[in-house]
A and B are shown apart, each in its own frame.
Chain A
Amino acid sequence: MKSFKNHLSLIMAIVTVLFSLQIFTITERAIDAYENNLKANYSIVVVSEKKISQKTFQQMHPLIKKSELIAADHVLKNIKLQMKQTNIKLLKTALPKFYRIRLSKFPSPDQIDTITDAIKQHAGVTRVESFENSHNTTYKLLLLFKQVVLVLAVFIFIVTSLLMLKEMRIWQFQHTERMSIMALFGAPVWLRSAVLFRLAVVDALLATLITSIAFVGIVNYGWIESELEVIGIHITIFDLFGDGFSMLVLALGLSIFLATMIVLGHKEEV
Chain B
Amino acid sequence: MDKVIYANNLSLAYNDRETIINDTSFSIESGSFVFITGASGSGKSTLLKSFYGAISPKRGDLIVGGVELSNIAPKKLNLLRRHIGIVFQNYRLVNEWTIEKNVILPLIISGYSKEVSTSQVEKLLRHVKLSHQTGKYPQELSGGEQQRVAMARALSHNPILILADEPTGNLDDYSSQVIWNLLQGANLQLKTTVVVVTHNIPKTLNLEYKHFHLENGVLNEVL
Report yes or no: A269 in contact with B96, Cβ–Cβ below 8 A.
no
Report yes or no: A3 in contact with B79, Cβ–Cβ below 8 A.
no
Q: Which of B84, B94, B97 has the most CB of A within 10 A?
A: B94
What is the CA–CA distance of A185 and B92 in the complex, to the nearest angstrom? 12
Stretch at the interface among B105-113, B195-203, B209-217: B105-113
Q: A268-B54, A270-B49, A270-B54 are contacts. A187–B96 as well, Cβ < 8 Å?
A: no
Chain B: CB-nearest residue to A268: B54
Chain A: CB-nearest residue to B86: A184
Interface residues of B in 18-70 (CB under 8 A from A): 49, 52, 54-55
Number of B residues, CB within 8 Å of A: 28
Chain A: CB-nearest residue to B79: A186
Q: A181-B92, A186-B81, A188-B78 are contacts. A270–B110 as well, Cβ < 8 Å?
A: no
Q: Which residues of chain B are within 8 angstroms of A183 by Cβ–Cβ distance? A: 78, 81
Q: Which residues of chain A are within 8 angstroms of B55 by Cβ–Cβ distance? A: 270
Chain B: CB-nearest residue to A3: B96
Report yes or no: A270 in contact with B14, Cβ–Cβ below 8 A.
yes
What is the CA–CA distance of A2 and B149 in the complex, to the nearest angstrom? 24
What is the CA–CA distance of A177 and B94 in the complex, to the nearest angstrom? 8
Chain A: CB-nearest residue to B83: A186
Report yes or no: B81 in contact with A184, Cβ–Cβ below 8 A.
yes
Chain B: CB-nearest residue to A189: B74
The answer, among A3, A177, A182, for a CB contact under 8 Å with B109, is A182
Report yes or no: B82 in contact with A186, Cβ–Cβ below 8 A.
yes
Report yes or no: B52 in contact with A184, Cβ–Cβ below 8 A.
yes
Please encode chain B, from 162 to 181, with 1 for each CB lying within 8 Å of some chain A CB and 0 for all others. 00000000000000000000
Interface residues of B in 90-124 (CB under 8 A from A): 92-97, 105-106, 108-110
Q: Which residues of chain B are within 8 angstroms of A186 by Cβ–Cβ distance? A: 77-82, 84, 106, 109-110
Is B75 part of the binding interface, using a Cβ–Cβ cutoff of 8 Å?
A: yes
Number of A residues, CB within 8 Å of B: 16
Please encode chain A, from 241 to 270, with 1 for each CB lying within 8 Å of some chain B CB and 0 for all others. 000000000000000000000000000111
What is the CA–CA distance of A178 and B94 in the complex, to the nearest angstrom? 6
Q: Which residues of chain B are within 8 angstroms of A188 by Cβ–Cβ distance? A: 75, 78
What is the CA–CA distance of A268 and B72 in the complex, to the nearest angstrom? 15
Report yes or no: A185 in contact with B106, Cβ–Cβ below 8 A.
yes
Q: Which residues of chain B are within 8 angstroms of A177 by Cβ–Cβ distance? A: 92, 94-95
Report yes or no: B96 in contact with A185, Cβ–Cβ below 8 A.
no
Report yes or no: A181 in contact with B94, Cβ–Cβ below 8 A.
yes
Q: Which of A184, A189, A269 has the most CB of B within 10 A?
A: A184
Report yes or no: A269 in contact with B54, Cβ–Cβ below 8 A.
yes
What is the CA–CA distance of A62 and B53 in the complex, to the nearest angstrom? 70
Is A191 part of the binding interface, using a Cβ–Cβ cutoff of 8 Å?
A: yes
Chain A: CB-nearest residue to B52: A184
Q: A186-B79, A188-B75 are in contact. List 20 more A-B contacts (CB 8 A).
A: A3-B96, A178-B94, A181-B93, A182-B105, A182-B109, A183-B78, A183-B81, A184-B86, A184-B92, A185-B81, A185-B82, A185-B106, A186-B77, A186-B80, A186-B106, A187-B78, A189-B74, A268-B54, A270-B14, A270-B49
Interface residues of B (CB under 8 A from A): 14, 49, 52, 54-55, 74-75, 77-82, 84, 86, 92-97, 105-106, 108-110, 153, 157
* Sample (10) of A-B pairs whose CB atoms are under 8 Å apart: A177-B92, A178-B94, A182-B105, A183-B78, A184-B92, A185-B86, A186-B109, A187-B105, A268-B54, A270-B49
